[in-house]
Structures are given as structure tokens and as C-alpha cells.
Amino acid sequence: MDDLLSLKKAFLDEISSVSDLTGLQNIRTKYSGKKGLVTSKLKALSSIPPDERPLYGSTLNEIKNFIEETLKNKEILLKENEKEKRLQTEKIDITLPGKFTPFGREHPINQVLSEIKDIFVSMGFSIEEGPEVELDYYNFEALNIPRHHPARDMQDTFYVSDDVVLRTHTSPVQVRVMEKKKPPLKIIAPGKVYRCDADISHTPMFHQVEGLMVDTEISFSDLKGVLELFIHSFFGKNTPVRFRPSYFPFTEPSAEVDIGCIFCAGKGCRVCKTTGWLEVLGCGMVNPKVFEMSGYMPDEYTGFAFGMGVERMTMLKYSIDDIRLFYENDLRFLKQF
Ligand SMILES: [Zn+2]
């Protein structure tokens, strides 16, 4: 019987000092496992003298039950403790200040681009897109810019190969749309364009918005009406507008559109070179040759086209004098919009 009492005492000593579940599992194996101390005592029961066996057996059974019960309770307690410990270490201190994430904002060019798009969409124009890596054919030839035209100069154009260029304007989208759709057409084509040029008023990549309207009876007065409405929406109702004769290969007749200088109110200043006028976009009636190349019958349809630089419009609207500021990513500049 003494061996049983010392077994129970040894168990109690060990169980009282255990502090984690791994330790508890070791004790369980040591006492209640298949080769554990209690199990071996049960196996050895037959070697106890028969007259002592009933009392020895029932005592052993009590101790066995006691050990199992104690192990179970201790396990519950240790699991509770571990959970508590985990909650303590994972506790979130909601009084700590959060990590500050600075707010971003839309780039000024994109803001102005959205504004331009909104104005034309409100006049019923739809938005079309085309590839930035463009075939020479769409960028030049189909727009009546033949091989010898100075616009094809290697100094202005990024050539990918003899027949492929980075588009130098958004005008090729016109041709691509005319090849696919029949009039009436009323589209704008906004996007990036590329020219081999960099100074205070030029960057190798910039944005243009091209416009095209084609139907059976489109006249120059439609062109004037649409562009005047646009300029008054964009620069303000009282902005003076004038159309000045010009030349583009893809339009005939062609015009440049000027607005009254917004810096000197037409009095003449450094920005407008004392003329009182600022050039904002180019336009004209679609050259019949362009219609022909796109598969439209020139005697059936008329139309107008226009194109503007988004950077230039933004510079005029916000009085910015250096185009490079848009692409230097200086937050002191960009935060102002
Ligand atoms: Zn001026």
C-alpha cells in the first residue's frame, strides 16, 4: 500500500509545479500512459497476495480515477491561462495614435482632362481611344501627311521601326473610328502623345484631346459654335474667342483658335507677347482627302476636327509657366490643385 501512497504523493508534487500544457502531457504519459506507472501497477495486480488484493485494488482504482480527474482539471486550468496570456499579448491599445497615411489626389493634368471630357460629353460627344504605339499609316499617311512632310522629321517623331511610331498626336484615332463607323460621328479622343522635344514648354510625352464631328451638313459655323461653347465653359463666359486662318494637312480650311489673354485681359503682356491673344487650339473642316482614305464619300459628308494640348490648357487655366513642373512630382507643386 505504501507504494500507492508514494505514487500519489509523487504525482501531486509534479502536478502542482507544472505550468504549461507540454509539461502536463509529459505527466499524463508518465502516469496514465500505456506504459505509465498506474497502468503497470494495474498489470502487476495479480502478484499481490490474494487477501490484500481487494483493498489494494480498490485503492489503486481510486488513485487512478483521482489522477485522471486531476489531469483533466489541470488541463482546463492551463488552457484558460494560456488563452488569458494570449489575450494580454494581443491586446490592441486603441488609445495609441494610428499610422498616418497621407491623402493622395488627382494629378492636375488628369483633373483638367476630366473637365474637358465632361464639357464635350455634355454636348453629346462620345469618348474614343486608340493605340499609343501607332502605324505610320494612321499617324501620318491617312491624315494627308505624305512622306516628305516636315512633321515626319526624325527629330520630332519617335520611330519604333520604319512603319511604326509613337503617335505624335491623337488624330489617328479619327481615322480608326471612321474606318469602323458610319456618320453621324461626334467623338473626342483624349490620350498621351509623344514628340522628341523637351524644354520649358515641351515634354517628350504630353496629352491631347482630339475632336471630330461628321454628318451630312456640318459647317464651319458648327465648328465655331462647339468650340466657343467649350472655351466659355472652360475659361469663363466672358472670354473673348477668335478664329485665325492657319494650315494643317488634315483640314481645309484650317484655323487656330485664340482666346483673349487671361493674364492681361487683352492689354498685352509678356505671356501673350503683347498681342493680347493666346493660342489655345487648332481646328478646321476635315480635308476631303482624309475622308476618301477612310472610305467616306467626300461629296456626301462634311465634318470638322480640332485638337488641343491638355498641358497647355492647364498652364493657361492655372497660370503655370513651366510645363516640366507637371512631371517633376514635387508634392509642393502638386498639392496646390
Ligand atoms: Zn497678355
Distance 270 CA to ligand 1 centre (A): 6
- Topology of the domain covering 108-334: BirA Bifunctional Protein; domain 2 (3.30.930)
Q: Is the pTM of this model over 0.85?
A: no
pLDDT digits over 167-184, tens only?
A: 999 999 999 999 999 999
* Sheet of strand 241-248: strand arrangement: 126-127, 185-194, 205-215, 302-309, 277-286, 251-260, 241-248
**What are the residue ranges spanned by the domains of the chain?**
2-89, 108-334
pLDDT digits over 217-261, tens only?
A: 999 999 999 999 999 999 999 999 999 999 998 999 999 999 999
Reported confidence tier of residue 271, pLDDT bands at 50, 70, 90? confident
Distance 305 CA to ligand 1 centre (A): 27
Distance 242 CA to ligand 1 centre (A): 15
Cβ atoms within 10 Å of 218's Cβ, excluding its own:
21
Cell of 168: 505624335
Q: Any idea what the Cα angle at residue 34 is, between residues 29 and 40, rounded to 5°?
A: 100
Distance 279 CA to ligand 1 centre (A): 11
Cα 321 to Cα 159: distance, rounded to the nearest angstrom: 30
Contact assessment for residue 312 and residue 111, using Cβ atoms and an 8 Å cutoff: no
| pLDDT of 155 strictly over 70 | no
Buried b (16+ CB within 10 A) or exposed e, 316-325: bbeebeebeb
Distance 335 CA to ligand 1 centre (A): 27
pLDDT digits over 192-216, tens only?
A: 999 988 888 789 999 999 999 999 9
